[in-house]
Chain A
Amino acid sequence: MTRTAPPAGSLLAAQDLHKTYGPTTALDGAEFSIHPGEVVAVMGPSGSGKSTLLHCLAGIVTPDSGSITYDGRELATMGDAQRSALRRSEFGFVFQFGQLVPELTCVENVALPLRLNGTARKEAERTALAWMERLEVDDLARKRPGEVSGGQGQRVAVARALVTDPRVLFADEPTGALDSLNGERVMELLTEAARSAHAAVVLVTHEARVAAYSDREIVVRDGKSRDMERVV
């Protein structure tokens, strides 16, 4: 099958992705592209394939066929170690639940990605604290995740996702477990921080109010994607 080239200037692009789990087709020719500094919402009903698309784009899941390029490099040609390094240094992740290590304090949680990359503790915690300030949770630095609210914990998780200055932030239903007010504040802070750092955000959500923080949306249905900007 002939594929069209990814849109010029895109940082991360996927073309004609296919993925099946046993008899279930999760992706059936899905496409995607995002530019630096752009926030793209991936929408669609439950089971439509949007989380599989995110996992493929982030190099967590390998598609059965299709192409994913990050900064001009084909993900499929990278080894596991290279893909892991990419996830650690260039990608950030925010999920719906259970992301913080309960035994560590909040600032240790935020500093963790830097520590894993070999940064000294003091420096890592200083950078972590600066990010916690931006996310308005610096006063929680010495508390453990069990001692903070859901909304606060999610902001700590966003700070941790951004602490390595990732070029792409993957957020899978980041406000799914929060009430409206907290969810909104998390989205405001997340998009502000990402935009000022010129990071691209892949935002998987089924909530329109969350998607309203994006620049454009892609709709996934039955494993196929539709880029609404190019359709309308």
Chain B
Amino acid sequence: MSIGHTLLGLLESGPRHGYDLKRAFDEKFGHDRPLHYGQVYSTMSRLLKHGLVEVDGIEAGGGPERKRYAITEAGITDVERWLATPEKPEPYLQSALYTKVVLALLTHRDAADILDTQRSEHLRSMRILTERKRKGDLADQLICDHALFHLEADLRWLELTAARLDKLRAAVTA
């Protein structure tokens, strides 16, 4: 996730102090990974340098944390461009699990065992996310759903691989 673009987007609704920005970010997007203050201030000084934000006011007491930032026209254009650009689908072609399955077959170990153990581990994570969803608000539900669908995709691959183990064994040991 682009922290710079996210902070810029948060500034579109009005100028904020660095501390406010961090709080707004953590509340909406930082569920498991809140921002460090250092990240906020280093990001803001970069955005300032590129003319995407400007200092809207400095409160008495000085120090970087007292600066209030506002988004510039260039900043708004930058957010628009970022929102309109699709994210690159990640193909996950370097699968550690695939490597383990092939190595198990090559060394005449039980590959189905590896897949069963992995399924169990995935389900463990899915149970935690499902529980969090039950107790959470809509934002929590959507974030957990995203993670759940990705884990489910892994499991669909796992089931398909389990069903094709005999073929795969024949192919890799040929």
For A229, the closest partner residue in chain B by CB is B120
The B interface is mostly helix, strand or loop, or mixed, namely: helix
Task: Please state if A217 and B120 are interface contacts (CB–CB under 8 Å).
Answer: yes
| Interface membership of chain A positions 216-229, coded 1 if the CB is closer than 8 angstroms to chain B and 0 otherwise | 01010100001010
C-alpha spacing A209/B144, complex, angstroms: 12
- CB distance B148 to A219 under 8 Å? no
Shortest C-beta distance, B151 to chain A (Å), equals 7
Distance in angstroms between the alpha carbons of A213 and B159 in the assembled complex: 19
B contact residues around A214 at 8 Å (CB):
127
Q: CB < 8 Å: which of B120, B121, B134, B162 contacts A45?
A: B162
Say yes or no for A232: interface residue by CB 8 A criterion. Answer: yes
User: Hey, which chain A residues are within 8 Å of B162, CB to CB?
Assistant: 45, 221
A1: Cβ under 8 A from any B Cβ: no
Residue of A nearest to B113 (CB): A231
A206 to B112, CA, bound (A): 17
A188, CB-defined interface residue at 8 Å: yes
Kindly list chain A residues whose C-beta atoms are within 8 Å of the C-beta of B129.
Answer: 212
Chain A neighbourhood of B126, CB < 8 A: 208-209, 211-212
By a CB distance below 8 angstroms, the chain A residues around B130 are 209, 212-213
**A208 touching B116, Cβ below 8 Å:** no
Say whether B120 contacts A232, CB under 8 Å: yes
Q: Given B112, B117, B121, B134, which contacts A221 in the complex, CB threshold below 8 Å?
A: B112
In the bound assembly, the distance between CA atoms of A214 and B152 in angstroms comes to 15
Total B residues in contact with A, Cβ cutoff 8 Å: 21
**In the docked arrangement, what's the CA distance between A221 and B119, Å?**
14
**Distance A111 CA – B163 CA, assembled complex (angstroms):** 43
Give the secondary structure class of A's interface: mixed
The contact string, 1 if C-beta is below 8 Å from chain A, for chain B 119-152, is 1111100110110001000000000000010011
- Complex interface residues of chain A between 47 and 90 (CB less than 8 A to chain B): none
B117 touches A208 (CB 8 A): no
Bound-state Cα–Cα, A219 to B119, Å: 10
Which of A188, A206, A213, A228 meets B120, CB within 8 Å? Answer: A228
- A-side interface size class: 10 to 19
Query: How far apart are B39's CB and chain A's nearest CB, in angstroms?
Result: 33
Contacts of A208 in B (CB 8 A): 119, 122-123, 126, 151-152, 155-156
Q: If the complex has contacts A212-B126, A213-B130, are A226 and B116 also in contact, measured as CB distance less than 8 A? A: yes
Cross-chain contact A209 with B148 (CB below 8 angstroms)? yes
Min CB–CB distance B117 → chain A (angstroms): 6
Q: Are B116 and A219 neighbours in the complex by a CB distance under 8 Å?
A: yes
Closest chain B residue, CB of each to CB of A206: B159
Beta-carbon nearest neighbor of B158 in chain A: A208
A208-B123, A212-B126, A221-B112 known; A232-B151 Cβ under 8 A: no
A221 to B148, CA, bound (A): 24
Q: How far, in Å, is A10 (CB) from chain B's closest CB? A: 20
Interface centre among A188, A209, A231 (most CB of B within 10 A): A209
What are 21 A-B residue pairs whose CB atoms fall within 8 Å in the complex?
Answer: A41-B123, A43-B119, A45-B159, A188-B134, A206-B159, A208-B123, A208-B151, A208-B155, A209-B148, A209-B152, A212-B123, A212-B127, A212-B130, A214-B127, A221-B162, A226-B116, A228-B119, A228-B120, A231-B116, A232-B117, A232-B120
Query: A residues touching B (Cβ–Cβ < 8 Å)?
Result: 41, 43, 45, 188, 206, 208-209, 211-214, 217, 219, 221, 226, 228, 231-232
